[in-house]
Structure 1
Amino acid sequence: MTETPRKRPGWLRHLPLMAILTVAVIGSLTLGDYLSFDTLRENQEALLAFRDQNYLGLALGFCALYVVIVAFSLPGAAVMSLTGGFLFGLAAGTVLNITSATIGASVIFLAARLGLGETLSARIDASEGRIQKLKEALKQNEVSVLFLLRLVPVVPFFVANLLPALVGVRFWTFFWTTALGIIPGGIVYTWIGVGVGEVLARGEDPDLSLIWEPYVIGPILGLCALAILPIIIRALRGNQEA
């Protein structure tokens, strides 16, 4: 007589997301003073010395820490981006920053998808009315919406990681739009980080408001316009057909 396999309790699939949210709350309350410009200022000489002795080791350690910060939505992502430019220069720093942020975003996406994402997506598929229409509209403009979430600086990064998972966006689509969409901002933050050593030596903090300067935000808004253009065209075609 064969035994039927036992089903795992439904709450088990929520564990990854629950763990991320728990660590995120604890980290936001306890790590703010550690992942800061003051910490970077105090350890910049040691970091540079270690980089000169073990470049690959520092690069791997940097990526691992950055992935953890993004995956658990911990404070300090901006400091890490600047640190990437400070330690590795514009080209290598940008690659390391974007790679780490993309991996971290994918971790939280998958955690949400395995938990609430599957349940919410199934309920939306079974629903009718406005919610279902919103889901269909998102599917039609999926890539454009995902790019906008990445390009518009006012959207919190963790929100742009969670929302696609909760509404049923495919992982591969999320992955490549994240990797490409964060490039403009990643270059800007890494670029600021390239000169961070001189700023810290003067006892100042890097000016992150640079991203709002017209010559920086202008091209990013231009990319936003290109991303939203397909949505506008589809909307106009839909009105004409109606």
Structure 2
Amino acid sequence: MANSEKSTLQQRLPIIIIVAVALIGAFTLRDYLSFESLRDNREALIEFRDANYLTAVLGFIAIYIVIVGFSLPGAGVATLTGGFLFATFPGFLYNITAATIGATAIFSAARMGFGDKLAAKMESGSGMIKKLKDGIDENQWSVLFLIRLVPAVPFFVANLVPALVDVPLRRFVISTFFGILPGSLVLTSVGAGLGEVFASGETPNLGIIFEPHILLPILGLSVLALLPIIIKAVRGKEGL
């Protein structure tokens, strides 16, 4: 019994650490991982980038991974920073790479701590819980892309939910990388234009992703992701 409890604690330790760091970071790092902090330190960051480009790239990616992996505040600011320091391209490649690695880290920790056991319980259950699990299993690609594309779904939620329903790691990584491309590209391009924003003393329009010319194409992709689910549902009713 003691060994079993120790093994369970070891499995859950990574997600426990992530939750603890996330809670501490929410109260202690918010002022440091902010747009104001980027604005106030922009000249020092540019100087460091120009003098140590490779180190700047690797350091930026590492910090971004930590922010996402521990669900710290500032992921949006990190994406803007990637555009500000490294332009839209290759900045958005650095952004999506770091975001995918960080998301995979928290996904793996959650799956190790709770996901496998919870998925097994859902699989062996009955009623609505079993139907929910079966529905997700039958449409995993569509659901995974959908939760990445819809702006209203928080990023950390999209990282945790797949871990709790036994989504394969490979499928999670692929859907995350490609699913965050549209939103990341938009925010990175906003970051690339921050020089003019800083010069005019304004703040960036982060709500640009909800403007029609940006939001409608993303919603269109969401509908495409949803289409297989709709087709299966219609065919199921026809079969009845």
**Range class of TM-score, shorter chain:** over 0.9
Report the counterpart of residue 37 of structure 1 in structure 2.
35
Report the counterpart of residue 84 of structure 2 in structure 1.
86
Report the counterpart of residue 155 of structure 1 in structure 2.
153
Match of 2:223 among 219, 225, 239: 225
| Cα distance in 2, alignment partners of residues 9 and 47 from structure 1 | 44
| Cα distance in 2, alignment partners of residues 91 and 33 from structure 1 | 28
| Cα distance in 2, alignment partners of residues 144 and 23 from structure 1 | 32
Match of 1:125 among 123, 126, 136: 123
Report the counterpart of residue 211 of structure 2 in structure 1.
213
Match of 1:106 among 96, 104, 107: 104
SS at match of 2:203: coil
CA-to-aligned-CA distance 1:97-142 (integer Å, 9 cap, x gap): 0000000000000000000111101111111222111111111110
Over the matched positions of the two proteins, sequence identity in percent amounts to: 55
Deviation of the 1:78 alpha carbon: 0.5
Report the counterpart of residue 73 of structure 1 in structure 2.
71
| Cα distance in 1, alignment partners of residues 97 and 144 from structure 2 | 18
Task: Output the amino acid matched with 1:41.
Answer: R
Which piece of structure 1 moves more, 126-135 or 12-21? 126-135
Are 1:234 and 2:237 matched, yes or no?
no
SS at match of 2:87: helix
| Cα distance in 1, alignment partners of residues 8 and 56 from structure 2 | 40
Report the counterpart of residue 140 of structure 1 in structure 2.
138
Which piece of structure 1 moves more, 125-134 or 208-217? 125-134
Deviation of the 1:9 alpha carbon: 3.1
Task: Output the amino acid matched with 2:113.
Answer: G
The alignment's TM-score, normalised by the length of structure 1, stands at: 0.96
Match of 2:13 among 8, 12, 15: 15
Matches within 5 A, 1:164-175: 164-175=162-173
Which piece of structure 1 moves more, 156-165 or 48-57? 48-57
SS at match of 2:41: helix
| Cα distance in 2, alignment partners of residues 9 and 54 from structure 1 | 44
CA-to-aligned-CA distance 1:72-104 (integer Å, 9 cap, x gap): 000000001001001101111010000000000
| Cα distance in 2, alignment partners of residues 183 and 211 from structure 1 | 13
CA-to-aligned-CA distance 1:27-79 (integer Å, 9 cap, x gap): 11111111111111111111111111111100000000000000000000000
Task: Output the amino acid matched with 1:210.
Answer: I
Deviation of the 1:235 alpha carbon: 0.2
| Unaligned residue ranges in structure 1 (runs of 5+) | 1-5
Task: Output the amino acid matched with 2:112.
Answer: L
| Cα distance in 1, alignment partners of residues 199 and 75 from structure 2 | 21
Report the counterpart of residue 198 of structure 2 in structure 1.
200
Deviation of the 1:204 alpha carbon: 2.0
| Unaligned residue ranges in structure 2 (runs of 5+) | none
Query: Number of aligned pairs?
Result: 237
Task: Output the amino acid matched with 2:91.
Answer: G
